[in-house]
Amino acid sequence: MGDIAAIKATNLTKSYGRSRGIEDVSLDVHPGEVMGLVGESGAGKSTFLRALLNFIFPTAGSLEVFGRSVVKDPVEVRRRSTYLPGEFVVPARLTGHQTLRRYAFTRKQLSQGRIDDLADRLKLDLSRKVGELSKGNKQKVALVLAFAPKADLIVLDEPTSGLDPILQRTFAGMVKEVTAQGTTVILSSHVMSEVQHIADRVALLRDGKLAAVGKVSELLQDSRRRGSVRPKRAEDVTAVAGQLSDIEQASEIRVDDGEISFACVGAVDPIVKLLAAFDIESLDLAHADLEDAFFSDDALESGEVK
Amino acid sequence: MKLVRSELSLQRASLIGWSLAIAAFVALVVAVYPSVAGDDSLDAIYEGLPPAAQQLLGGSDATSPVGYLNTQLYAFLLPAILLVFAFGRSAGTIAGEEEQRTLDLLLAQPLARWLAYMEKALAIAIGLFLLSVASLIPLFALNSSAGLDISVANLIGQTTQMFLFCLALGMWTMAVSSATGKRGLGLAVVIGYTVASYLIYGLAGTVSWLENIVPATPWRWYAENQPLQNGVGVEECLVLLAAAAVGALVGMWFFNRRDLHA
């Protein structure tokens, strides 16, 4: 396989009549990588994932999976991929086993041992009718469907919705296991925290456009964190606020009742050095959070995250 | 052919139910025949009807074996029952699954869309075929004991034309529904066409200008050659088969290149 990208989207655009869809998305996913697709609902995550399986046809641009055009060679692409839909619906009267038979009958390398192992780890009873299962248990059936066949690419649309924290950890283990064997995983979520521990890289989608893509740690470095500082002496407040506003890492400085709040982007070091000259009563600096980075409008629009 | 098998195994219970119900209905109609055979009052009712109604109901003779089966089974009731099955299955098979949001998962498999379409169409054809056979069994079994004594070849010919008639309308229902992803649209268009053409076919004898459009009605190709009396019509079968094939190809062509609804 060498350096062929698992997924290569080039200027991919899908426009619908209304505003939904994706616009000019270019994204490479490497073999064996876990790519997280994050964005609010309607940002285009499902559109991108559904285009991968050729459920929808691109309006412009190209989309390749392991070097094969998704439009020209959809069967080969789907032969190497499995899929977990954003909303898992199967006929309610089918049992878990029947569901697997119905929705994986073309999968050649589907072993019963693998199915039983997955069901066991997820604590799922496949002999029960899907219609009788809770939302979380239905999602487990969907996970078995996506993970049981041997696949080079696993496409997961909101895989962790409906899973409790313990199962999310089981899920993360399953992802780690398949990627260790070289499988590529692309998964979407509207909640960054669900993705940021699993994904090697994340791609942030916003209104159908790719807002940022990179390693979680890199994006965190560029992301903003909220801070506040309270000098011991009231007369220092103005001086600290003034000096903070002079350095580029601090912004949105506000003074309220002897406490100075600010936003920090990038390195903290200059801020800490500046404060060292004063007597400080308290200093709070929030954890760098991608969620914060992602949902702060001006950070994205000014390109600071990108 | 794996999808055909999967489709049929999903429908097994329903197909058995439909087959038994149809066989029971036909058996009942046939079993009643001996008590109708000599009853002129039934003929009198049919003879009193206007010609258009007679045409729609299968003629004016309701007491001869052929007339009885035409009026009581083949002119309307039995094909109508089969059509209910054909319409429901054909509209439900792709568009229905799409509306229930189960189609994505099915087509996430390494299966070409056009092939999935054709396998689903074939599954519907097999289902219709089974129901057609189920309708024949009581006729074969009771043919002589009920005093019908109709030639087996003609019974098969009549059933063949009925099967192809329902198949053609089913394939066009599937085509419109699958091409658009709208289950209701296929049903509305094809049921509307079927009912309208039924009326045209019935009225054509009375309203002369309608005669020109009779060849566009499926009913003409199903019933006009009276297969129960005259044996199977090869031309009729070919027209119906061609209509079914064209419907399947048109639907497949559109389905193969459109976006699936999320």
pLDDT at A19: 62
For chain B, positions 110-149, list CB contacts with chain A under 8 A: 110-113
pLDDT at A16: 83
Distance, in Å, from the CA atom of A170 to the CA atom of B248, rounded to the nearest integer, reads: 46
Residue among B10, B112, B257 minimizing CB distance to A102? B10
Residues on chain A touching B6 (C-beta within 8 angstroms): 101-102, 105
Neighbours of B67 (CB within 10 A): 19
Instruction: Please indicate whether, in this complex, the C-beta atoms of B109 and A57 are within 8 angstroms of each other.
Output: no
Chain A residue with minimum CA distance to B101: A89
Cβ(B163)–Cβ(B129) below 8 Å: yes
Residue among A81, A105, A145 minimizing CB distance to B2? A105
| Chain A contact present for B3, CB below 8 A | yes
User: Which of B98, B102, B111 is the best residue to mutate to test the A interface, defined by the most A CB atoms within 10 Å of its own CB?
Assistant: B102
Instruction: Please indicate whether, in this complex, the C-beta atoms of A53 and B108 are within 8 angstroms of each other.
Output: yes
Chain B residue with minimum CA distance to A105: B2
CA distance B122 to chain A (A): 17
Average pLDDT of the residues in A289-301: 54
Q: Give the residue from A176, A174, A78, A70 showing the smallest Cα distance to A124.
A: A174
Low-confidence ranges of chain B (pLDDT < 50): none
pLDDT at A292: 61
Residue among B100, B113, B259 minimizing CB distance to A56? B259
Instruction: Please indicate whether, in this complex, the C-beta atoms of B6 and A105 are within 8 angstroms of each other.
Output: yes
User: Over 70: is that where the pLDDT of A136 sits?
Assistant: yes
Residues on chain B touching A156 (C-beta within 8 angstroms): none
pLDDT at A170: 94
User: Over 80: is that where the pLDDT of A303 sits?
Assistant: no
pLDDT at A291: 62
User: Which of A102, A139, A156 is the best residue to mutate to test the B interface, defined by the most B CB atoms within 10 Å of its own CB?
Assistant: A102
Instruction: Please indicate whether, in this complex, the C-beta atoms of A53 and B107 are within 8 angstroms of each other.
Output: yes
User: Over 70: is that where the pLDDT of A293 sits?
Assistant: no
Average pLDDT of the residues in A99-124: 91
pLDDT at B91: 97
User: Over 60: is that where the pLDDT of A88 sits?
Assistant: yes
Residue among B100, B111, B258 minimizing CB distance to A106? B111
pLDDT at A299: 42
The string of pLDDT tens digits covering residues A148-198 is: 999 999 999 999 988 888 999 999 999 999 999 999 999 999 887 788 889
Q: Give the residue from A56, A73, A77, A63 showing the smallest Cα distance to A25.
A: A63
By DSSP bridging, strand A224-231 and strand A68-69 are unpaired
SS3 letters across chain B: CHHHHHHHHHCHHHHHHHHHHHHHHHHHHHHHHHHHCCCHHHHHHHHCCCHHHHHHHCCCCCCCHHHHHHHHHHCCHHHHHHHHHHHHHHHHHHHHHHHCCCHHHHHCCCCCHHHHHHHHHHHHHHHHHHHHHHHHHHHHHHCCCCCCCCCHHHHHHHHHHHHHHHHHHHHHHHHHHHHHCCHHHHHHHHHHHHHHHHHHHHHCCCCHHHHHHHHHCHHHHHHCCCHHHHCCCHHHHHHHHHHHHHHHHHHHHHHHCCCCCC
pLDDT at A266: 76
pLDDT at A289: 64
Distance, in Å, from the CA atom of B259 to the CA atom of A59, rounded to the nearest integer, reads: 11
Name the more confident of B51 and A118.
A118
The pair of structure tokens assigned to A151 is 């696949």
Of A8-22, A74-88, A102-116, the range with the highest mean pLDDT is A74-88
Q: Which residue has the tokens 């893509």?
A: A213
| Chain A contact present for B230, CB below 8 A | no
CA distance A196 to chain B (A): 26
Return the SS3 of A140: helix
Q: What is the mean pLDDT of chain A?
A: 88
Distance, in Å, from the CA atom of B252 to the CA atom of B243, rounded to the nearest integer, reads: 14
pLDDT at A117: 95
CA distance A89 to chain B (A): 6
User: Which of B5, B8, B105 is the best residue to mutate to test the A interface, defined by the most A CB atoms within 10 Å of its own CB?
Assistant: B105
Chain A residue with minimum CA distance to B100: A89
Cβ(B103)–Cβ(B260) below 8 Å: yes
Name the more confident of B19 and A249.
B19
User: Which of A50, A68, A106, A157 is the best residue to mutate to test the B interface, defined by the most B CB atoms within 10 Å of its own CB?
Assistant: A106
Q: Map out the domains of chain A with their CATH numbers.
A: 7-216 (3.40.50.300), 224-287 (3.30.70.920)
ipTM of the complex: 0.88
- A55: DSSP letter: S
CA distance B260 to chain A (A): 5
Name the more confident of A157 and A106.
A157
Strand partners, A225: A264
